[in-house]
């Protein structure tokens, strides 16, 4: 008995299908026995009436209750018949491309032309030699005198320009202004100039000669 119960529990679908088929056959037999088929009647007092048998699907609706539909050919017999939704497709997140900043445009330096200035060429200045220079001077004898030490001296001047005049009081043998005193008298003065030339200069009468300008 236990084995039969196990079989019934396991094969209940086939048992239910068999019971439904038996009920359907019994219903057909009863129906055909009370109606005519192809002009023949069944049963007592039946009249042959040619009318088709009209059975609607609703007449067999009770047979479909409790009956499990079999799996159609081509499908998996172990499938539950329920449509399994497809798993959602993974969302692919695109990585944002790094934004590369455009380099700044190169700075173009504008060349500013310097204004052309005419150079002023200065004339070279005459080179003035440093130190004593031999120049032509004008010697003028003034007078003879005796200094504090009792020495006789000649007082004279040498002019090398309009504003450059040097005065001297020299005795015999002394030098000044590039000239040397050789002799002194009341009327004249004897000098040796810078070019080693002798000059006799009367009193009050200037004489040109070579002298030395400091």
pLDDT of residue 4: 62
CATH class of 133-213: mainly beta
Is-contact 207 136, C-beta < 8 A? no
Residue 3 Cα distances to 18, 106, 122, angstroms: 20, 97, 142
pLDDT in tens, 155-167: 999 999 888 999 9
pTM to 2 decimal places:
0.39
pLDDT in tens, 81-97: 556 667 777 777 776 67
Comparing CA positions, the residue from 176, 187, 138 lying closest to residue 159 is 138
Q: Please name the residue that has the structure tokens 């609706």.
A: 61
- Cα 170 from Cα 72, distance rounded (Å): 162
Q: Give, as one character, the DSSP assignment of residue 88.
A: P
Comparing CA positions, the residue from 214, 75, 53 lying closest to residue 134 is 214
| Residue extent(s) of CATH 2.30.30 domains in the chain | 133-213
Sign of the dihedral through C-alpha 199, 202, 208, 210 = positive
């Amino acid at each position: 008995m236990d084995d039969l119960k196990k079989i019934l529990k396991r094969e209940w679908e086939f048992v239910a299908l068999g019971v439904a088929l038996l009920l359907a056959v019994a219903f057909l037999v009863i129906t055909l026995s009370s109606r005519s088929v192809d002009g023949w009647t069944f049963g007592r007092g039946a009249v042959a009436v040619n009318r088709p048998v009209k059975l609607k699907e609703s007449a067999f609706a009770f047979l479909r209750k409790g009956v499990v539909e079999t799996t159609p050919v081509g499908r998996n017999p172990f499938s539950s018949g329920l449509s399994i939704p497809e798993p959602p497709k993974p969302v692919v997140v695109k990585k944002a491309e790094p934004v590369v900043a455009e380099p700044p445009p190169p700075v173009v330096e504008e060349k500013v032309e310097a204004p052309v200035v005419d150079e002023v060429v200065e004339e070279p200045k005459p080179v003035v030699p440093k130190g004593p220079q031999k120049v032509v001077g004008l010697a003028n004898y003034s007078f003879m005198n005796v200094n504090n030490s009792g020495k006789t001296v000649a007082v004279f001047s040498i002019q090398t320009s309009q504003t450059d005049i040097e005065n001297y009081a020299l005795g015999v043998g002394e030098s000044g202004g590039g000239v040397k005193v050789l002799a002194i008298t009341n009327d004249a003065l004897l000098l040796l100039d810078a070019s080693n030339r002798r000059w006799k200069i009367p009193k009050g009468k200037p004489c040109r000669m070579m002298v030395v300008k400091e």
